[in-house]
Amino acid sequence: MFTNLTELALGNFTRLQTLDLSDNTISYIHPNAFNNLTDLRNLDLSDNTISYIHPNAFNNLTDLRNLNLKSNPLSGNGYQFLLPCSQLTVLYIGSNMLDTIDNFGLERAVSIRKIYCSYNDLRDINQSLPPNSSILYTVDFKFNNIEVLKSGIFANYTNLYEIYLHSNNISEIEEHAFEYLPNLRYL
């Protein structure tokens, strides 16, 4: 693990599969920051000061499986940085300042199985679920500001096994909010 890293200069580590840059002072992820890391599968950027990720930061990370961005001051300001990460299976984005993740570019993450998005400022789950992931298994939205669970909100996610919603401000659960969840074991 690096300490007090503020800028990424990774060179040609073309065979690198795991990169742990957690607990540093990285504040910005530049375009093509991981350009030569084409075999990277696991990237940990947690516990930094990242407030912005350039839309082209993860351009060549098409094999990335696990991404940890928890405990950064990220907000939901339209990045689309996840678009190249079509093989992403686990995303940790808890303990940020997110009010939405719909503009992160999750629409191509068809392999996503687990999303950990606790301790944020989410108010609407509709805008926080990837639209095309039929194999989504776990969603963790605890400790947010969700107020309403709309009808059919999980209808496209029939493989959901775990949904964490405790410690929110839920005041209304619409009829059929949890319909079409034959595999659900934890709510």
**Domain range summary for the chain, segments of one domain joined by +:** 1-101+117-123
Q: Tens of pLDDT along 91-102?
A: 999 999 998 887
Residue 128 has pLDDT above 80, yes or no: no
Structurally, at CATH architecture level, domain 1-101+117-123 sits in: Alpha-Beta Horseshoe (3.80)
Contacts of 83 (CB under 8 A, 6+ apart): 55, 105, 107, 108
Report, as an integer, the average pLDDT of 45-61.
94
Name the nearest CA neighbour of 159 among 133, 129, 130, 126.
Answer: 133
Residue 103 has pLDDT above 90, yes or no: no
User: Is the separation of the CB atoms in 67 and 92 below 8 Å?
Assistant: yes
The more confidently predicted of residues 125 and 128 is: 125
Would you give the distance in Å from CA 9 to the centre of its chain? 24
pLDDT, mean over the chain: 90
Question: What pLDDT does residue 3 have?
Answer: 52
The model carries a pTM of 0.92
Residue 25 has pLDDT above 60, yes or no: yes
Question: What pLDDT does residue 8 have?
Answer: 59
